[in-house]
Amino acid sequence: MAMRGWPLIKLLPQTTNFHFVKYARIFGVISLILCAAAIFSTFKPGLTMGIDFRGGATMEVIDPSGKALDLESIRAGMEGLHIGEVGVQEAGRPSLAMVRFQIPQGQEQAAVVNRVKQTVTEAAGEVTFSSPSIVGSKVSGELFQKGLFALAAAIGLMFLYIWFRFEPQFGFGAVAGLLHDVILCFGLIVIMKLEFNLNMVAAVLTVIGYSMNDTVVVFDRLRENLRKYKTMPLREVIDLSINETLSRTIITGLTAVMVLAALAVYGGPALFGFSIVLMFGIIVGTYSSIYVGAPIILLWGVKRGGAADDAKPIKFGMASRP
């Protein structure tokens, strides 16, 4: 009842009759191409590793007078130190900047930090520095391995959950959707040249959870309709189930995207990449529930009411035979 007071709800139709399965072949090919491109780009040119996984230091630079910092001068000065990759970006306001730099192998951390402070002071004038956050290369390597393990474990646990809750073909459909979403998220990180750090791992894990939640909603309705419409062709049951959950999916997705858009704009550089990946993940998660997970069930087939024909795989673009 409370939702009726929101006028935008009235713009969404209560019932839809889109033929999603009809275009499953086309979107399936598009998804395969995009996933292949994303996998290739992950290795070449590859991910831009953040300090968490690459090793190095981060430090805040603050102008106590509130004057805007000359980021280009600071960046040019730090690059002149020849200590590897450096990053300089505004952190919420013009008088505050975040500097990132590597600690070259064989050099003392304290000496490198002091050189950076001296260079930044020469470029920006009298400024103050926060305590540097330093991550060693060994620790960063362990963090990277644990991050990948966390992603793999999350996908495996989701597969087991779906397998036990539904049927094996539902589990494979859900995991295919999860892999699709994760791969495309990595592709986005490469294309936008976002730093892959612990925040990104958290973003991808959140995308996995959201995608699974959306998939479970569709699969729950599909399972109910399979019991309710035992003689209806499987492709029609899938279309019906997706249409019945579409309004809920759109409302949930739009709400999350609006919040994340505000976070991307006002959350500062530290949360920008996190917000962008999450917004993208919500969109592709909704897409994969419709055009990745459900079509796999269509291809595999599902047993209904003991009817032998229903257990046979159904070809793309072909209606099931009663």
Q: What are phi and psi of 38, to 5 degrees?
A: -65, -40
Strands (E), the chain: 48-49, 56-62, 86-90, 96-101, 128-129, 133-135, 195-196
CA distance 251 to 20: 19
pTM, to two decimals = 0.72
Using pLDDT thresholds of 50, 70 and 90, give the confidence band for residue 175.
Answer: confident
Tell me the percentage of the chain whose pLDDT exceeds 90. Answer: 10
Instruction: Give 48's strand partners.
Output: 195
CA distance 240 to 17: 7
- Answer whether residue 321 shows pLDDT above 80: no
Using pLDDT thresholds of 50, 70 and 90, give the confidence band for residue 14.
Answer: low
Using pLDDT thresholds of 50, 70 and 90, give the confidence band for residue 1.
Answer: very low
More confident residue, 195 or 280: 280
Q: What mean pLDDT, rounded, does the chain reach?
A: 79
Amino acid 65: pLDDT: 84
The first and second tokens of residue 24, run together, are 């499953």
- Span 125-135, average pLDDT: 80
- Span 120-148, average pLDDT: 76
- Span 143-163, average pLDDT: 78
CA distance 182 to 208: 7
Evaluate whether 215 touches 181 at the Cβ level (below 8 Å): no
